Amino acid sequence: MKLGEEGIVMDKVVVIGVFDFVNFHVCKAFLDKGIEVRGVQLETEVNEDMINEKRLEIGRNANFSEVSLGEISNHSSEYETIVLSVYDLYMRHKEDFLLADQLISKIINRNNWENIVFVVPSQLLRNVIDSKAEVVIEDFLKRIISQNKDCYILYLPTVFGPWQPETFMFQSSILTEMDRGKPFKGLREETCDALFVEDTVKSIIEIIENKEPGKYLLQSGKRDQWNLCAALLQINEQGLNNSKAEIMEEDLTKIIVPSTVPLSAALTRQIEHAHRINADK
C-alpha cells in the first residue's frame, strides 16, 4: 500500500473466488492498474473449461498468481487488500460454502489486512431477510464485522456483461436462444436495477482507493434499468416483482456508477461473448 495525493494506492490484492463472475472482472481491473493479484479458485467451480478460458485471459500477466486458501493463510503480506465476492456465491446458489469452510473466516479475521472488501447482493438491504441464503450471508458478515469493524461492504443489484453465469435471467435467456440453456433455477437477482460489469468494477476500485470503509450501494441512477435490459433481450417480464424494497440501512452511502457504453452495446458484448465461448460446445 502507498499513500498518494488522492487516497490509497494499492499494490497487492488477494481475490477469493477469482474465477467467479464479478470477482474475475475485479481481478482484471486490478491487473490493468499494475496491481499484484493473488487469486484463489474456490472449489465451488464446476466448469473446468470456463476456468481454463479465464486463465488464458489473465494467466500471462506477470502480476497474477493463482494460489490456494492454505497458501494465503500461511504466507501473507502486511499491506494486502482482500476481496471476497459473496455476491457471486449467492448468484450461483453456493452460499453454503461460507458455512462449510471456516478457513475463509480465519483468513479474514487475521487482522493484518490493509482493506477488507465484501461484495454482496443488494437484497440484504431489505427490511425483512427471510430466505435461507440471505440469512447465511448476513450471519457470515456479522461474524466477520464483529472482529473487523472497518470493512468495505459493497451492495450490488443485477450485474451483467461477459462471463455472467446462467443463474442470471439475462444469460439464461441468451443461452436458451442458442439452444445451450439449462433449466432456470429461479430468479435470485435484483430486478429493480442493473449495472454493466466493467463500469461496476471501476467504481468498486475507486471506492476502495478513495473512500473510507463503510457500506455502499452501487446504483445506475436510472429508472427501470433492469426492465430496459430485459426488453432489449426480449425477456417477458410478466409476473416479475420489480417493486423496490424499503432499505433498512441508515449508514449507507449511495454511489451512482457512471455508464461508459449504451445498454444495447453492453448487452451486445455479453451476447457476442456467450456465442464465442459456446461456439464449439
How many domains does one find in the chain?
Answer: 1
Chunked in runs of 10, what are the mean pLDDT values of the chain (281 residues)?
Answer: 51 93 97 94 74 88 90 76 95 85 78 88 83 89 86 96 94 85 72 96 96 95 93 76 59 94 96 87 57
Q: Is residue 230 part of a domain?
A: no
What is the structure's pLDDT at 45? 57
Q: Is residue 20 part of a domain?
A: yes
Q: Is residue 61 part of a domain?
A: yes
Domain that holds residue 53: 2-162+196-220+251-259
Q: Is residue 132 part of a domain?
A: yes
- What CATH number does the domain containing 65 carry? 3.40.50.720
Q: Is residue 225 part of a domain?
A: no
Q: Is residue 202 part of a domain?
A: yes
What is the structure's pLDDT at 240? 60
Q: Is residue 233 part of a domain?
A: no
What is the structure's pLDDT at 43? 72
Per-residue pLDDT of 51-109, as tens digits, reads 888 998 897 899 999 998 888 877 766 678 999 999 999 998 888 888 866 778 888 88
What is the structure's pLDDT at 98? 86
Q: What is the 3-state secondary structure (H, E, C) of the chain?
A: CEEECCEEECCEEEEECCCCHHHHHHHHHHHHCCCEEEEECCCCCCCHHHHHHHHHHHCCCCCEEEECHHHHHHCCCCCCEEEEEHHHHHHCCCCCHHHHCCHHHHHHCCCCCCEEEEEEEHHHHECCCCCHHHHHHHHHHHHHHHHCCCCEEEEECEEECCCCCCCCHHHHHHHHHCCCCCCCCCCCCCCCCEEEHHHHHHHHHHHHHHCCCEEEEEECCCCCHHHHHHHHCCCCCCCCCCCCCCECCCCEEEEECCCCCCHHHHHHHHHHHHHHHCCCC
Per-residue pLDDT of 236-259, as tens digits, reads 765 565 555 556 666 899 999 999
Q: Is residue 279 part of a domain?
A: no
